C-alpha cells in the first residue's frame, strides 16, 4: 500500500483566513506552469523587495493558475486573496510538492 501512497499522495490541509484549504500534488498537465511560477517566485525571494514580490503576485497569471490547480480554492476566491496571503500560500504549495517529490525519490533510491 505504501507504493500507492507515493503514486497518489494525500493532500495536505492548511488554514487560510480560518478556511481549510487542501494543497494537492501538482498534476503533470500543470507541471510546466507550476515550475515557471515556482521558479519566478523563488528567484524573486532572493532578489526582490516585498513590494516587488506582491506586485508580481497581483499581476501574475501563473500564480493564479498554480493556486487554482494545486489547492482546493476556487479561482474567484484566489483572485480575492490579499497578495501577502497568495504569496505565502504559493510558498506552501511549493514546499508541499517538494515533499511529495522527495518521498517519491526516496522510494526510488531505496530500490
Cell numbers describing residue 40: 519566478
pLDDT at 20: 96
d(CA 102, CA 78): 27
Q: Are 64 and 36 in contact (CB under 8 A)?
A: no
Distance CA 34, CA 76 (A): 19
Q: How many CB atoms lie within 10 A of CB 43?
A: 10
Span 21-50, average pLDDT? 88
Q: Each residue of 69-101: pLDDT tens digit?
A: 999 999 999 999 988 899 899 999 998 888 776
Q: What's the CA gap between 5 and 41, in Å, rounded?
A: 29
Backbone φ and ψ of 4, nearest 5°: -70, -30
Name the band, by pLDDT with cuts 50, 70 and 90, for residue 105: low
Domain locations in the chain as residue ranges: 2-99
Q: What's the CA gap between 44 and 40, in Å, rounded?
A: 6
Verdict on whether the full-model pTM lies above 0.85: no
> What is the pLDDT, as a whole number, of residue 75?
92
Amino acid at each position: 500500500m505504501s507504493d500507492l501512497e507515493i503514486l497518489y499522495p494525500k493532500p495536505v490541509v492548511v488554514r487560510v483566513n480560518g478556511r481549510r484549504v487542501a494543497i494537492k500534488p501538482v498534476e503533470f498537465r500543470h507541471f510546466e506552469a507550476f515550475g515557471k511560477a515556482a521558479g519566478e517566485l523563488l528567484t524573486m525571494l532572493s532578489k526582490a523587495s516585498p513590494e516587488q514580490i506582491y506586485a508580481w503576485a497581483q499581476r501574475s497569471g501563473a500564480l493564479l493558475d498554480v493556486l487554482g490547480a494545486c489547492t482546493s480554492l476556487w479561482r474567484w476566491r484566489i483572485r480575492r486573496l490579499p497578495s501577502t496571503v497568495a504569496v505565502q500560500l504559493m510558498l506552501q504549495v511549493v514546499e508541499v510538492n517538494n515533499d511529495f517529490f522527495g518521498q517519491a525519490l526516496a522510494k526510488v533510491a531505496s530500490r
